[in-house]
A and B are shown apart, each in its own frame.
Chain A
Amino acid sequence: MLTLDPSFMLIRHTADDAESVISDLADTLHTYGAVQADYGQETIEREKKHPTGLPTKPFAIAFPHAEAKGVVESSLAVATLSSPVSFLNMADPEEALEVEVVFLLANKEPEEQVQALRQLALIFSDSEKLVYLREIESPAIAAEWFRDQLLNLE
């Protein structure tokens, strides 16, 4: 089960680059107590080695994450961006993607991470859902929407 607090939802967020989005998202989790202080930095390091941008339609997304150590409580933080930032394409790290929504995953158990990814893939592969998510205007509604999306599944 992923913790989805409204404070993890950064709506129309402004950030200069991928690193600051990751760090802002990780800060929301850290403030809540869901991850340790270095989770953001760990994730930034991992993103450099194994980028997580995805060329989803109609706009690109990214799902940065780090290893399970440093995670106190499995959680998901999301930023919808007021203007896109560049992430590298997971499938082709030579290609930069202009990303509009960033999903920061924090999972305590590897098996749980697989499960979370299975659920998120149903959002990634559905353009109507991605557009709906991008247009959500309040953190409370965004958190509620994610609970619905992720709870409908096992």
Chain B
Amino acid sequence: MGKLIVVACGAGINTSTIAEDMIRERLDAEGLEDVTVKRILMADIDGYVGQMNLIVSMMKIYREFDVPQVKGMPFLIGTMDEKQALLDEIVELIRA
């Protein structure tokens, strides 16, 4: 079955779009076509419990979920190396 990565941001500022672009590109390069990347608002995250396999959050999350979560801010302001390291981590987590 396909897996789902949600990219959550706080408002309609679209910072998550930048993260989504980079994750999508890396997943394609890895041949992980059965992984879906979906942008959501943090306020809607409860609707994805049970469906999502990984959370990439542009904001601090004050709660735990039953799936791993990583901070997406490096996609917006990190160096190339930081972006690469984050993509490596995401690929590793979604393959697990």
Residues of A at under 8 Å CB distance from B? 46, 49-50, 52, 54-57, 65, 90-92, 110, 113-114, 117-118, 121, 124-125
Residue of A65, A114, A125 touching B77 (CB-CB under 8 A): A125
Q: Is the CB of A114 within 8 A of B14?
A: yes
Residues of B at under 8 Å CB distance from A? 10-15, 17-18, 21, 58-60, 71, 73, 75-79, 83
Majority SS of interface residues in chain A?
Answer: mixed
Question: What is the chain A residue whose CB lies nearest that of B57?
Answer: A91
Majority SS of interface residues in chain B?
Answer: loop
Q: What A residues does B14 contact at CB under 8 A?
A: 110, 113-114, 117
Q: Is the CB of B13 within 8 A of A92?
A: no
Compute how far the CA of A39 lies from the CA of B31 in the bound complex, rounded to whole angstroms.
45
Supply 17 A–B pairs (Cβ within 8 Å), ascending by A: A54-B73, A55-B73, A56-B77, A90-B10, A91-B58, A91-B60, A91-B73, A110-B12, A117-B13, A117-B14, A117-B17, A117-B18, A118-B17, A118-B21, A121-B18, A121-B76, A124-B76
Q: What A residues does B15 contact at CB under 8 A?
A: 90, 117
Q: Is the CB of A50 within 8 A of B13?
A: yes
Q: Is the CB of A91 within 8 A of B59?
A: yes
- Expressed in whole angstroms, the minimum distance between the Cβ of A23 and any Cβ of chain B is 20
Most buried by B among A54, A65, A117, A125: A125
Q: What B residues does A117 contact at CB under 8 A?
A: 13-15, 17-18
Question: What is the chain A residue whose CB lies nearest that of B17?
Answer: A114
Q: Is the CB of B59 within 8 A of A54?
A: no
10 additional A-B pairs beyond A50-B13, A113-B14, A117-B15, beta carbons within 8 Å, are: A50-B10, A54-B73, A54-B76, A55-B77, A114-B14, A114-B17, A117-B13, A117-B17, A124-B77, A125-B83
Q: Is the CB of B77 within 8 A of A121?
A: yes
- Expressed in whole angstroms, the minimum distance between the Cβ of A115 and any Cβ of chain B is 9
Q: What A residues does B71 contact at CB under 8 A?
A: 91
Compute how far the CA of A56 lies from the CA of B78 in the bound complex, rounded to whole angstroms.
8
